[in-house]
Amino acid sequence: MRIVTVYSKPSCGQCNMTKIELRKKGVQFEEINALSPGNEELAEAIRERANEKGIIGSFPYVTVYDEYNELIADWFGFIPDSINNHAAVSDAEDAA
C-alpha cells in the first residue's frame, strides 16, 4: 500500500485542485498544513527539497511512499499526470 501526503497551505488553489483530483481518482491521502504554527522545520525541509529539484517554492508538495517507507515519488504543484500515474499504479496493486 502506498502512503500519499499532501503538504498544503491555506488559500492555495493548486492545493485544492490536487486534493480534488486525488479524491476523484479514489486515492487516499493525508493532508498537512505546512505553514501551521509548529511546522517551521517541516516548511524549511520542503523549501530545501524544492531547491534540490530546482523549483521555486510552490505548494502543494506531494509525497508517495511505498509499503517499505521508501519515497517513490514526489512533486510540487498541481500535476494531473503525476496523480494519474499514481492512481493507475494504486489500481493495479489493489487488483493484485
For residue range 58-81, list pLDDT tens digits in order: 899 999 999 999 999 999 999 999
The pTM of the whole model exceeds 0.85 = yes
3-95 CATH choice from 2.40.110.10, 3.40.50.1820, 3.30.70.1290, 3.40.30.10: 3.40.30.10
So what's the pLDDT on residue 1?
80
The count of other CB atoms within 10 Å of the CB of residue 17 is: 15
Instruction: Determine the average pLDDT of the residues in 42-71.
Output: 92
- Confidence check: pLDDT of 90 > 80: no
User: Quick one: what percent of the chain has pLDDT higher than 70?
Assistant: 91
- Confidence check: pLDDT of 89 > 90: no
Contact in structure between 12 and 30 (CB atoms under 8 Å): no
The pLDDT confidence band at residue 94, using thresholds 50, 70 and 90, is: low
The Cα–Cα gap between 76 and 61 comes to 5
The Cα–Cα gap between 31 and 4 comes to 9
- Confidence check: pLDDT of 34 > 90: yes
DSSP for residue 69: S
So what's the pLDDT on residue 86?
81
Report the DSSP pairing between strands 3-8 and 30-33: parallel
Beta-sheet strand order (sheet of 3-8)? 30-33, 3-8, 61-65, 71-76
